[in-house]
Amino acid sequence: MFTGIPSGKSPSLAPQHMALIPPERLSEIQQHYMTELAAYVSNPGSLEIKDRRFSGKAWQSPWSKAIAGMYLLNAKHLMELAEAVETDAKSKQRILFSTLQMVDALSPSNFMATNPEVLEHIISSQGQSIQNGILNLLGDLKKGKVSQTDETAFEIGKNLATTEGAVVFRNHLFELIQYKPLTENVFERPFLMVPPCINKYYILDLQPDNSVVRYMVSQGHTVFLVSWKNPDKSMAKVTWDDYIGDGVIKAIEVTKEIGGLDQINLLGFCVGGTLVSNALAVLAARKQKPVASLTLLTTLLDFSDTGILDIFVDEDTVKLRENTIGGEQGQFGLMSGLDLGNTFSFLRPNDLVWNYVVENYLKGNSPPPFDLLYWNGDSTNLPGAMYCWYLRHTYLQNELVKPGKLKVCGEKVDLSLIDCPAYIYASHDDHIVPWHSGYRSTQILKGKNRFVLGASGHIAGVINPPAKNKRHYWVNAKLPAKAEDWLAGAKDIRGSWWPDYAEWLAQFGGKQVKASNSFGSAKYKKGIAAPGKYVKEKVDESS
């Protein structure tokens, strides 16, 4: 899921917006603020500070608590004013978002003079923390992003993406990896995984104890996985049709041929789910039914409600992208993976930006190693032509759910023609794919569907291995029209949703056969070992 921040399209709370607040509501907010302010000034202890930014011991002095308390009081007042503005839904969402960005940026924890923890670090380190912070800042300026983890601690193929396998096919868009079995017997039907093209595939194969790939192999599946190429400028004209035809459909064909069966099981994650659904609709229009089951993880098919990302999309923004990188004016370019990554970080600024500004620059600390954050920073570009098509026809015009509206690979797209069983997963706190929007896929796809709702967010909800026994998930066999009705009747289950999925997928695996240690086929030969070549490519964005 991706858009890019539009220039000048996210106004924070400004004087002209105050005129859009009903006078009686404005007076109410102001009176409430003055009452709370008077109570706080007369008794500073009356305001309970629960914000983790101010939870450290150094913040407990009267002066520091007063600074934090006044900030929180004013921040609350500003957000109440932004919420009270009466305007159209998108403008209001933009005002709220931008006001929150401003409020978070102005936190006293983000400034050396008003952060007592930073001052303690300076004294205890005899000023060394200042020097360290400057060096960290200079290093990040060169990279163009705030460091969130120790990037020297990880190497793809060494301690990330280590599940044993081999590349069995490669074209200009992707490598197809086949993984070595871990069980004596396997299901006869191959299992193909299509990750999002906006990130590297190894989110599904981080380390052995949190690898989706390894887990599915251990469950007896012969796993194939698409590793998308990180586009350079030579790929700027690659289209959405190319990603469908030369990408997903080709991967299905190769997996079927190697597996020797007419059908496979297919999984798509995030944008990968949108791609595979589009591909299956194209194949359905051709009277082909290549999959026995479909799995969608945190995927949008209906883009009528894209949550916070909606504020970044309008006709002007999309037209700007089309004119600069989409070929509308004869110019093709790339959507920068670095820019996309920074945009997504600012969707959760306190967790993914300001926390590291304080730790890395003000305190002079180095971030600890964290595999998921290393992956999060390993961004990929997107071809301008493909990106602009996707932005217009899904996020802006929501045409994927309109039968026959779109023509892809020469075929009219109708998602209702996809009638295989589908396992549809969403994450409850997902800020990129709102769970109720993910739920709408149950009403679009016409096969026998199962919907599962996991706890946590877009990535952490998905990467939740059973061994850690963390979080929980909801299940409900009934699929009413409204997501809220589904949740009201759902059962809350402790632990990971992975075993539930493994049990569901097993019924579509076919018979058990003896596992083979050979890779590929006579037509598609075994190539280099996993993780392959494409996942290691770093594009020089200055070239």
Question: Which single residue is written with the structure tokens 């961004």?
Answer: 379
Residue type, 494: R
How many angstroms separate the Cα of 105 from the Cα of each of 98, 102, 415?
11, 5, 43
Q: Treating both helix axes as pointing N-terminal to C-terminal, what angle do 128-143 and 116-124 enclose, rounded to 10 degrees?
A: 110
Helix (H, G, I), strand (E, B) or coil at 159: coil
Residue type, 272: G
Residue type, 433: V
Question: Which single residue is written with the structure tokens 């050396």?
Answer: 112
Q: What angle is formed at CA 215 by the lines to CA 214 and CA 217, rounded to 5 degrees?
A: 65
> How buried is residue 43: exposed, middle or buried, by Cβ count under 10 Å (0-12/13-18/19+)?
exposed
Pick from 269, 300, 251: which is nearest to 203 by CA?
269
- Choosing from 270, 388, 409, 420, the catalytic residue is 270
- Catalytic annotation on 197? no
Locate 422 and state its tokens.
Answer: 């589908």
If phi over 0 gives left and psi between -120 and 50 gives alpha, with beta otherwise, what is residue 76? alpha
Contact assessment for residue 303 and residue 398, using Cβ atoms and an 8 Å cutoff: yes
Instruction: Compute the distance between CA of residue 211 and CA of residue 158 in angstroms, rounded to an integer.
Output: 14
Instruction: Compute the distance between CA of residue 419 and CA of residue 448 in angstroms, rounded to an integer.
Output: 8
> In which element (H, E) is residue 110 found?
none
CA 266 to chain centre: 20
DSSP letter string, 54-91: G-SGGGGSHHHHHHHHHHHHHHHHHHHHHHH--S-HHH
Helix (H, G, I), strand (E, B) or coil at 422: strand
Dihedral sign for Cα 176, 182, 184, 190, please.
Answer: negative
Across the strands, what pairs with 473? 454, 493
Across the strands, what pairs with 474? 453, 492
Instruction: Compute the distance between CA of residue 272 and CA of residue 342 in angstroms, rounded to an integer.
Output: 21
Q: Exposure pattern of 153-188 as b/e (b: 16+ CB <10 Å)?
A: ebebeeebbbbebbbbbbeebbbbbbbbbbeeebbe
CA 234 to chain centre: 26
Per-residue DSSP letter, 185: E
Q: Treating both helix axes as pointing N-terminal to C-terminal, what angle do 89-105 and 62-84 enclose, rounded to 10 degrees?
A: 170
Pick from 190, 310, 312, 314: which is nearest to 257 by CA?
190
Across the strands, what pairs with 297? 269, 425
Residues annotated as part of the active site: 270
